[in-house]
Amino acid sequence: MKKVLTIGIAAYNASTTLNHTLKSLLIPEIMESLSIIVVNDGSTDDTELIAQKYVDKYPTIVKVINKENGGHGSVINKLIEIVDTPYFKLVDADDTVEKIGFIDLVNKLSITKADVVLSPFFMYDLKDNKKQLVGYLNSINKYERNKVVRFDKYYQIIQPALHSLTYSTKLLKNSGFRVDEHCFYEDTEYSLYYFLNCKTILLLDEPVYCYWIGSTTQSVNIQNRLKRRSQALRVSYSLISFFENNKKNMDNAKEIFYKNQITGVLSFDYQLLFALLNGKRAKYESQEFDLNIKRTSPELYEYVDKGNMGGKKVGKVIKIFRKNNWNGYIFLHFCFRKSIVNKIKMG
């Protein structure tokens, strides 16, 4: 059977979760259509041993690559180099796939030529065992389900995320883009860069991915986000650089898409800095971040309150701070920091 999809698994010290991930993928009806590559990113636990057991049992399906630790981004870059099936999907080693949706995805991939495939996904909160369905459009309007559509018809309402994405391998390889290595939150780059040359999208309505959240060790945990905020900002600066370097090649739809998406990320970063416990520190870092955006991309700097990715309110507040030389920031920080923290936890 011809293989149509490579599943790349980023695995670092994943001995407690990797079995769960691999079992969810190895569905008899479709597994011969898959190539599953586990990239062991310098783990110090039994990740390699667990992966090798699956290689031994499913030698035509599962492979393992061992490499020095380079972070999630290095795994993505490595996988894009070696993937040789028509489509590629990234799955983290502490997540799973949904059986019905995954079977549907693989079957659809065998008959499509779309550049990108988007599918809903679940977020499963380990703390309260709640499972929430998440879409990939920021609109409740009807859309063309299970059909290939043009990017320029949907560019204003797409909300791409790693968990919703399956890419054409040709699109990935021809782009030449690499995401940041030794850095958290680079999945935002992975979710955006490759849309630059996207023309067609297959819109699916069955959830494929299950994103397990609630662990204190995850990078999206609020305390980890605050500790690693410099890495979140590094990703934002990379996105800004990407926009500035490639906007000459963007048509109107792509330019608006990237302005919306990137200013949405910037708005989240302003909120992250606002969530710092010390008001003076929060003000200083927010001003510094704001000035860096102004220096590197005056266009995005001015657009920060115009995007439609949930950042308009934050952008308007930032523009008020700019006009008032950031006066009143510490008072508002005192009044609203807790609500911002709770918002980040929920988001």
Question: Is 226 found in the same domain as 202?
Answer: no
Question: Could you tell me which of 294, 241, 233 has the C-alpha nearest to residue 269?
Answer: 233
- Which residue range is the domain that position 194 belongs to? 5-213
Question: Is 204 found in the same domain as 129?
Answer: yes
Domain boundary among 213, 235, 259: 213
Question: Is 229 found in the same domain as 206?
Answer: no
Question: Is 227 found in the same domain as 204?
Answer: no
Question: Is 190 found in the same domain as 70?
Answer: yes
Question: Is 27 found in the same domain as 76?
Answer: yes
Question: Is 198 found in the same domain as 104?
Answer: yes
Question: Is 108 found in the same domain as 68?
Answer: yes
Q: Is the pTM of this model over 0.85?
A: yes
Q: How far is CA 58 from CA 22, 25, 211, in A?
A: 11, 12, 25
Handedness of CA 83, 89, 94, 97 (dihedral sign): negative
- Number of domains comprising the chain: 2
Domain boundary among 154, 184, 213: 213
Q: How far is CA 45 from CA 93, 181, 216, in A?
A: 14, 22, 19
Question: Is 196 found in the same domain as 88?
Answer: yes
Question: Is 300 found in the same domain as 255?
Answer: yes
Tell me the per-residue pLDDT of 146-187, one tens digit each, with 9 for 90 and over.
999 999 999 999 999 999 999 999 999 999 999 999 999 999
Which tokens belong to 56?
Answer: 């031994």
Domain boundary among 213, 245, 280: 213
Q: What does the alpha-carbon distance between residue 305 and residue 196 come to, in Å, rounded to a whole number?
A: 23
Question: Is 198 found in the same domain as 75?
Answer: yes
Can you give the pLDDT of all 347 residues of the chain as single tens digits? 689 999 999 999 999 999 999 999 999 999 999 999 999 999 999 999 999 999 999 999 999 999 999 999 999 999 999 999 999 999 999 999 999 999 999 999 999 999 999 999 999 988 888 899 999 998 766 788 899 999 999 999 999 999 999 999 999 999 999 999 999 999 999 999 999 999 999 999 999 999 998 765 554 567 788 899 999 999 999 999 999 999 999 999 999 999 999 999 999 999 999 889 999 999 999 999 999 999 999 999 999 988 766 677 888 999 999 999 999 999 988 888 887 777 666 55
Mean pLDDT across the chain, nearest whole number? 93
Q: What does the alpha-carbon distance between residue 272 and residue 77 come to, in Å, rounded to a whole number?
A: 27
Phi/psi class of residue 290: alpha, beta or left (left: φ > 0; alpha: ψ in -120 to 50)? alpha
Question: Is 274 found in the same domain as 190?
Answer: no
